[in-house]
Amino acid sequence: MATIYFFEKPGCGNNARQKKILAASGHTVIARNLLTHPWTPETLMSFFGSKPVHAWFNLASPRVKSGEIVPEDISAEEALNLMIHDPLLIRRPLLQVEERCETGFDQELIHAWIGLSGMLNDPETCLRDK
């Protein structure tokens, strides 16, 4: 089983559910505070890989929901700078197992990568938005 560094927003109900399914699948989950971690453009970029810039964003972020920030209209460099200064913009969770990093909770990807023993219904939609 894997040791997962799980970058979360403390108190987030979705992140709590996601950590629970990872632990129930036999993984060791080491939670890290996404909001206080000392991000750099390089460390953030390691989680995004080849995903398009708009997929890096937390669509439930107040600045995105209000229309102040339109992820489809932002360059990679601008997105990274915005996220360093406002980590609520970062799509959660960020997951790291050894050298591999991923963003979001794509259950099929995670299952193929490290294995999951169960699945969540709608694992990324904020519970408060329902």
Annotated catalytic residue: which of 12, 34, 83, 114? Answer: 12
Clarify whether 12 is annotated catalytic: yes
Structure tokens, 84: 């360093």
- Per the document, the length of the chain is 130
68: helix, strand or coil = coil
| Mode of pairing for the β-strands spanning 3-8 and 28-33 | parallel
- Residue-wise DSSP of 8-52: E-TT-HHHHHHHHHHHHTT-EEEEEETTTS---HHHHHHHHTTS-
Residues with a catalytic annotation lie at 12
